[in-house]
Structure 1
Amino acid sequence: MRQYVVYTRVSTKEQGRSGLGLEAQERDIELFLTNYSEVPWEIAGTFRDVQSGGDDDRPQLRAALELCRRSGAELLVAKLDRLSRKVAFIAQLMDDPKLRLRVATMPQADKFQLHIYAALAEQERDFISARTKTALKAAKARGKALGGLRDTTMRRNAAIQQKAVSEAQILLQIIGPMRDAGQTLEAIAAALDRMEVATSRGGKWTAKQVSRVLARSRS
């Protein structure tokens, strides 16, 4: 009779409590047993860790491996990354003469094929990690550039505002006495044009512009 030791793993305590990921692993294992396993078969033990696949020192995995070595049962996992994310660790297990490994989602794969798959999966993870770091670095650089642009714009706007206030203080020496004398904003604007006092943009004076100068002078 074919014997299996079933091992499943999820990465976080939240996944362990909620069952996220576990149902999929159990379904794949059931599909393997129903469609691909020799018959009759039995489950010699079931073990589960709630721990990262990057950490190979897992208590339930150790127990599962010990039972396999002791009983001669095959270690059955749903996917290779449930066993480990490190190709060196998987290769070490496959080199153990007392262990036999079976992956439910690759029911016909032999040791050589599993080794190749583990190496390719690790290479892909390394590439994704490098790509993510590069993207984050680029995003940070863009953020600095945008931040620098915003700072430059703010400094320019502040300089423009300060220049307007300074000009208003000078113009107030002319506009102030006329306003104190009861002149209307329209009359002051006309007087400034007659004196050929230029506006900040070089245009004609209006009552609204005179009002702005008075407001800036009080800033």
Structure 2
Amino acid sequence: MKKYVIYTRVSTDEQGKSGLGLAAQERDIELFLTSFSKMPYEVIGRFQDVLSGRSDDRPQLTRALKLARSTGAELLVAKLDRLSRKVSFIAALMDDKAVRLRVASMPFADKFQLHIYAALAEQERTFISERTKAALKVAKANGKHLGGLRDKTMKRNAAVQAKANSEAEKVMKVIGPLRQSGATLASIAATLNETGIPTSRGGTWTPTQVSRVLERAA
């Protein structure tokens, strides 16, 4: 029987972004297991860290790797950058003969392809960082006051986040137990609509909105 150890990672500033939140990772992993994995399979462990991908000191990843090495199970992640944003870290892990890595969003990729992808992703992030710095330098040279605008934007975003977190906390009292009992996102949305619980904007619930609440609460 195929065995998997599942590892997910979220950081505070990533939880609300599409494709990076916990619910999105779980969705991709479930899609891989049901559509691309050999049958039958068994998930023998689930581990999650809540911190930046730039840090290599991740206690839950350490536990996941230890279990994978001792059992021969494959380490399954949703996306390669959930494992690490550093190509050196990923390369070192791929050189470990006791670790077998599987990426849900690239179900047929081998070690060589994953290594190339990690290198290209790191190169792209470096370019984006330099491009942002250059744009800020030009804006400053043209007399734009970046600090004040940034402060106002941050305060506004903080207020929006606080309101969203408060509303998510309330509705999680309903969503949480339903999700833990195995209910799908669609069935949870239907239950909320049937009971007359509105969304934060007074509308009807969809599976996507339920997913966002779960990500925010993670």
Task: Map residues 1-219 of structure 1 onto 2, 5 A cutoff.
Answer: 1-12=1-12, 15=15, 21-143=21-143
- Residue aligned with 2:142, SS: helix
- Name which structure has the greater RCO, CA cutoff 8 Å, separation 6+: 2
Larger proportion of helix: 1
User: Aligned pair count?
Assistant: 142
Q: What TM-score results when the alignment is normalised by the length of structure 2?
A: 0.63
Instruction: Please report the RMSD computed on the Cα atoms of aligned residues, expressed in angstroms.
Output: 1.8
What is the alpha-carbon distance in structure 2 between the residues aligned to residue 112 and residue 140 of structure 1?
A: 43
Q: Match of 2:211? A: none
- What is the identity, as a one-letter code, of the residue corresponding to 1:106? M
Tell whether the 8 Å contact from 2:14 to 2:21 is kept in structure 1 after alignment: no
Q: Which runs of 5+ in 2 are unaligned?
A: 146-218
Distance 1:109 1:144, change over 3 A: closer
How far 1:144 moved relative to its partner? Answer: 6.7
Moved over 6 A (4+): none
Q: For 1:49, what is the secondary structure of its paired residue?
A: strand
Q: CA 1:14–1:88 in structure 2 vs 1: closer, same or farther (change >3 Å)?
A: closer
Distance in structure 2 (CA, Å) of the matches to 1:26 and 1:104: 10
Aligned to 2:206: none
* Greater Rg over alpha carbons, structure: 1
The separation in 1 between residues aligned to 2:13 and 2:76, in whole angstroms, is 22
Structure 2 distance, partners of 1:5, 1:87, is 21
Question: How far apart, CA to CA, are the structure 1 residues paired with 2:13 and 2:128?
Answer: 25
Structure 2 vs 1, CA of residues 33 and 88 (structure 1 numbering), >3 Å: closer, same or farther? Answer: same
Q: What is the TM-score with the length of structure 1 in the denominator? A: 0.62
Q: Percent identity?
A: 75
CA deviations 1:29-69 (Å, max 9, x no partner) are: 00000000001100010000000000011010111011111
CA contact (8 A) 1:13 1:50 kept: no
